[in-house]
Structure 1
Amino acid sequence: NIENYQLYVCLAQNANLKGVPVAYCLMTSENKDNLEFFYLAMSKNNNLTQTQVAIVDKDLTNVDILQQYFDKARVLLCMFHVLKYLKTRINMLKIPLDNRMNIMKNVRKLLYDNDQMSAIYLEEIKNNSEETDFYEYFEGNWFSCCEMWQIKHRKSLFNFGTDTNNHIERFNRTLNDHISPKMHISECVAKLILIVDDAKADEMNININLKQKVYNYDDSALLKRFHSQITSKAIELLRKQNEELKHEHYFIEEIEESR
Structure 2
Amino acid sequence: METLSAVLSSFKDNNPAWTKTETFVIDKDCVEWAILEELFQKPRYFCASFMRSSTLYMLNMGKLRVGVEEQYAVEGHFRALMYAPHEPEFESAREEFVQNSREQAPDIIVYFQNNWLSCREMWANSPRGKHFTAGNTTTNRI
Q: Which of 65, 81, 92 is residue 110 of structure 1 equivalent to?
A: 81
Q: How far is the alpha carbon of 1:105 from its aligned partner? A: 0.8
Give the equivalent residue in structure 1 for 2:125: 151
Q: Distance in 2 between matches of 1:150 and 1:163?
A: 14
Q: What does 1:169-248 correspond to in 2, within 5 Å?
A: none
Separation of aligned partners in 2, 1:76 and 1:63: 10
Alpha-carbon separation, structure 2, partners of 1:77 and 1:63: 10
Unaligned runs of 5+ in 1: 1-31, 172-259
* Aligned equivalents of 2:126, 2:46: Cα separation in 1: 12
* Equivalent residues of 1:56, 1:165 under 8 A apart: yes
Q: Which residue of 1 aligns with 2:97?
A: 121
Q: CA–CA distance in 2 between the matches of 1:37 and 1:70?
A: 13
Cα distance in 2 for residues equivalent to 1:122 and 1:134: 9
Aligned equivalents of 1:49, 1:159: Cα separation in 2: 15
> Which amino acid is 2:87 matched to?
D
* Counterpart for residue 96 of structure 1: 67
TM-score (norm 1): 0.47
CA distance in 1: counterparts of 2:3 and 2:66, whole angstroms:
40
RMSD of equivalent CA atoms: 2.1
- For 1:94 and 1:148, how far apart are their aligned partners in 2? 26
| Distance in 2 between residues matched to 1:110 and 1:67, nearest whole Å | 26
Q: Deviations over 1:195-254 (max 9, x none)?
A: xxxxxxxxxxxxxxxxxxxxxxxxxxxxxxxxxxxxxxxxxxxxxxxxxxxxxxxxxxxx
Task: Give the helix-richer structure, 1 or 2.
Answer: 2
Corresponding residue pairs, total: 134
Residue 134 of structure 1 pairs with residue 108 of structure 2: yes
Percent identity, aligned pairs only, is 24
The TM-score with structure 2 as length reference comes to 0.82
| Aligned match of 1:229 | none
**Alignment partners' CA distance in 2, 1:163 and 1:86:** 20
Q: How far apart, in 1, do the equivalents of 2:131 and 2:74 lie? A: 29
CA–CA distance in structure 2, aligned partners of residues 36 and 163 of structure 1 = 22
User: Are residues 97 and 67 of structure 1, via their aligned partners in 2, closer, same or farther at CA, if it must alter by over 3 Å?
Assistant: same
Higher strand proportion (structure 1 or 2): 1
Aligned partners of 2:15, 2:102: CA distance in 1, in Å?
46
Higher relative contact order (CA 8 A, sep 6+): 2
